[in-house]
Amino acid sequence: MSLSLCLLAASVLPLFPLGWVFNRLVASLPAGIAQGLAALILPQLGIALLGLVPPSSTWPVSWRYGAMAWATGSALLYALRALSARDLGIWTRLMLSSGLGVVWLGWCAGAPAAVLRAVAVGWSLPGAVALFLAGVLVRRVGGAYIGLQGGLATVMPRMTASLVLAALALTATPVFPAFFALWRGLGSIPLAFVPFWLPLIFLWGWAAGRLFQDLLFGDYRGERVADIGRPSAALIGLVLLAAVVLGFHRGGVTL
């Protein structure tokens, strides 16, 4: 029963290969708000399912280490796959699937459910913003394939700025919550696992760099399109600011 619940959790709190379900579910929803909400809710559902199984501290050590190794491999694989994704929707889903592996690390290390939920939000929140913006692109440009038009910063500066901030938050950049979550996650596992997680930080940076390359630089080649409105940009800014405050709070700074 416990194993079945874990496997069910791995399909919504993505762990390869069961993460296929998460990715397929999100992709099947209409681009935009629906996908963003799914990115927020599904990982929380996975954490709720994990709450139904006995705590990992009661499991044999070899099982726990096996689960850690699985989470590590899964996160690395998704990050590697994100390198070649040029569609913003696919890129975000793969990055999200990779980052949420940290939640599994926390669970294996015996972190309480409240901490796991906060860690998941650290990735889900910017992921949801990026998926929402992918929906905006699909509606206005006809697709979220970033490399197609190039230089979106010149025609959609507010959308680009919001997307850049979301991508930075998604790739565990300080001072966003994912950075602090990663620090705490890596601090709670045996040191032998750390060298396998470090290439992940490199792959995230590489994937973000490739996204920015297509998004920011060069001349825009598409038709004239409207940028997102100031209220939307302000709302995204506030959401990410709230994430920063959450990050500082989790990071241990007294505000």
- The footprint of another protein (CB under 8 A) covers 20, 23-24, 27, 77, 80-85, 87, 90, 93, 151, 153-154, 168, 173-175, 179-180, 183, 186-187, 191, 194-195, 198-199, 201-202, 205-206, 209-210, 212-213, 216-219, 248, 251-254
Which residues partner with 81 through β-bridges?
none
- For residues 195 and 199, give the distance between their C-alpha atoms in angstroms, rounded to a whole number: 7
CB of residue 51 to another protein, shortest distance in Å: 27
CB of residue 155 to another protein, shortest distance in Å: 11
> Cα-flanking dihedrals φ and ψ of residue 253, to 5°?
-85, 130
Q: Tokens 């825009």 appear where?
A: 220
Nearer to another protein, 53 or 85 (CB): 85
Nearer to another protein, 50 or 207 (CB): 207
Q: 44, 113 in Cβ contact below 8 A?
A: no
Nearer to another protein, 7 or 52 (CB): 7
CB of residue 153 to another protein, shortest distance in Å: 5
CB of residue 81 to another protein, shortest distance in Å: 5
Nearer to another protein, 117 or 158 (CB): 158
Amino acid present at 58: T
95 CB-near residues (< 8 Å, 6+ apart): 78, 79, 82, 127, 170, 171, 204, 207
Structure-token pair, residue 50: 């994990």
CB of residue 21 to another protein, shortest distance in Å: 9
232 CB-near residues (< 8 Å, 6+ apart): 158, 162
Give the H/E segment covering residue 19: helix 19-28
CB of residue 98 to another protein, shortest distance in Å: 12
Nearer to another protein, 5 or 83 (CB): 83
Q: Is 142 left (phi over 0), alpha (psi -120 to 50) or beta?
A: left
Nearer to another protein, 51 or 251 (CB): 251
